[in-house]
Amino acid sequence: MEKLKELAACSARLTHSHQDAVNGAILQAAAVYFALESNSATTWQEIWGKLKNVCKEIEPETSNREKPYTDRLTRMYLFLTSTGSISNNEVVSKIGVDIQATEAISAAIFAFLCCLANRQPEEIGSRDLLQRTVFYAISLGGDTDTIGTMAGAIAGAFCGVESVPQHWLVACEGWKKAEELADGMHRLFVKKSKK
């Protein structure tokens, strides 16, 4: 986990100087990692708890800085443990869907957790988890391409590549090249881990 946080922070600093953006990159990478390490029996509460622990590290209690990710994770928990439906307007108001990292990353994580908990709005339907997550993330509005992509990355890690509909792949520019790069990175990882 330490290496993941270090790499996510370094990657973010190439284009983002604000600490909230760097922390967001760490939280997004952690969400993908926890989803990848999960199985079909993993609950939203388990992943939420792990993300809360990451927030404790990147937004420590002793810090005088605001804790936007910690605050939003708390709001997510309140939404997901409440009775009744969760309106998009409430999500937009309490979590946000704007381009700032604190809002976009939080919205992506919430979309995944909400669909994992099967609490998405009825109109999203009962598709598989990956499709529900992406559709729900986009339905929230705001920075839809960013939020949908990040939510899809988390759900895709949880569900596996076989869950990606073929018609989505052929509509994505450069998907074959991305698949080749991913396979190459995996081979390199396996080779290095055997040493």
In angstroms, the CA 113 to CA 154 distance is 10
- CB distance 79 to 86 below 8 Å: yes
Nearest to 108 by CA among 11, 185, 40, 28: 28
Q: Indicate the burial class of 31 (C-beta count within 10 angstroms; 0-12, 13-18, 19 or more).
A: buried
Q: Is 146 annotated as a binding residue?
A: yes
Q: Is 74 annotated as a binding residue?
A: no
Q: DSSP secondary structure string, 84-103?
A: S---HHHHHHHT--SSSHHH
Q: Is 145 annotated as a binding residue?
A: yes
Residues of the binding site: 143, 145-146
Residues of the binding site for Mg(2+): 143, 145-146
